[in-house]
Amino acid sequence: MSERIKLLVGIPTLNRSQQLVKTLMTIAKSTFLPDRVLIVDQSYNNETERVVETFSKKLNIEYLRVSYRGLTKARNDILKRSDCFDVITFLDDDVKLREDYLERIVKAFENDEELAGCQGFIENQGGFKDLLLRFLNGAPPSSRPVVTECFVNTYPYFPPFHLISSEWLSGCNMSYRVKFVKGEKFDENFILYGLGEDLEFSHRLFNKGAKLLMIPSARLKHISSGLNRLPNKAGIMMRFAYRRYMIAKFYPNRVEEMFWRYVKWYKRAFRTLRIRRSQHWRQIMDLVDTSLKELEGYFPSIDKGDLSRVNALILKETQR
């Protein structure tokens, strides 16, 4: 009989102790308890540390307090501490797992030794309403997580009936077999909450031939805090700069074509807003156009894999 898979759950967090409580509660009620939960705390206060103390008798928690801010750095700290485990599950600090979520993830790895990574199904997104809205906005239809020709990462609207292949994994719940990610790192050029870092990491593995799956029976909810992590302009700049960076990394000979197709898709995603709230739509389009014009001077360095200058611009924008 094979030995029990050793599971590490890693959770980066920043000033979201109330959300973290709910996440840890669902982990503590799991039918399969992780061997360790590693909390990487980037908070400005001690609230998260108090939460960890509350759960210390229910879960084997390792608490790591760090002085830096950045999701990719936190994920890399978790990777560094995963050597003595078989599987590592990255969770956001605002998810609620079904009781059998971790059990089903672990079983997927037990049943397939070639499985490099997997994700569960986020059950509080998608559905008929979202499908209709996205259809009207011209979003590409998809029944599985793929990366399209314009580098849009898609997600199924409804839970599949069986395991399905994935071309990328959602960062709020992504699991990897440790031996398949040895030597890999999350790209620390992505700063702050690292918009797209999960796509870059998982799609990079996929392009190397790694087997990635969605486990539809492993269900969870992703409960957004409702807080804007960045001012709108900074967020839009980050979206376009990082998307172009990824396109240049994966498809260096098709950067202009794919990037502007992505921009066109992004603008089209607000099509129904133009009908319902035309003034708001115009404000968003003006913001998009202004951001793109400001970013154009940074495109040559972005295409060469250098985000330092545009990151400085994004940080400056957050301080306004």
* CA distance linking residue 148 with residue 154, whole number of Å: 8
In CATH terms, 7-123+159-222 corresponds, of 3.30.70.141, 1.20.58.1030, 3.40.50.720, 3.90.550.10, to: 3.90.550.10
Contacts of 188 (CB under 8 A, 6+ apart): 70, 72, 73, 76
Q: Would you say residue 231 has pLDDT above 70?
A: no
| pLDDT tens string 178-192 | 999 999 999 999 999
Contacts of 220 (CB under 8 A, 6+ apart): 95, 96, 97, 98, 101, 120, 121, 122, 123, 172, 173
Backbone angles phi, psi at 39, to 5 degrees: -100, 120
Q: What is the pLDDT of residue 228?
A: 43
* CA distance linking residue 94 with residue 74, whole number of Å: 16
Q: What is the pLDDT of residue 133?
A: 59
Q: How confident is the model at residue 125 (pLDDT cuts 50, 70, 90)?
A: confident
Q: How confident is the model at residue 319 (pLDDT cuts 50, 70, 90)?
A: confident
Q: What is the pLDDT of residue 1?
A: 41
Average pLDDT, the chain: 93
Listed range (151-165, 221-235, 269-283) with the worst mean pLDDT: 221-235
Q: Would you say residue 216 has pLDDT above 60?
A: yes
Q: How confident is the model at residue 45 (pLDDT cuts 50, 70, 90)?
A: very high
DSSP 4: P
Q: What is the pLDDT of residue 142?
A: 74
Handedness of CA 273, 274, 278, 280 (dihedral sign): positive
Contacts of 249 (CB under 8 A, 6+ apart): 200, 305
Q: What is the pLDDT of residue 272?
A: 82
Q: How confident is the model at residue 130 (pLDDT cuts 50, 70, 90)?
A: low
End-to-end CA, the chain:
60
| pLDDT tens string 191-205 | 998 999 999 999 999
All structural domains of the chain with their residue ranges: 7-123+159-222, 232-318
Q: What is the pLDDT of residue 95?
A: 98
Listed range (154-163, 229-238, 251-260) with the worst mean pLDDT: 229-238
| pLDDT tens string 64-116 | 999 999 999 999 999 999 999 999 999 999 999 999 999 999 999 999 999 99
* CA distance linking residue 320 with residue 315, whole number of Å: 9
Q: Would you say residue 139 has pLDDT above 70?
A: no
Task: Enter the tokens of residue 249.
Answer: 């990394």
- Going by C-alpha positions, the residue among 229, 96, 211 that lies closest to residue 163 is 211
Q: What is the pLDDT of residue 158?
A: 86
Q: H-type helices in the chain, by residue range?
A: 17-28, 47-55, 71-80, 101-111, 127-136, 197-207, 232-250, 255-268, 271-276, 278-295, 299-303, 308-318
- Is residue 170 within 8 A of residue 88, CB to CB? The reply is no
Report the percent of the chain where pLDDT is more than 90.
82
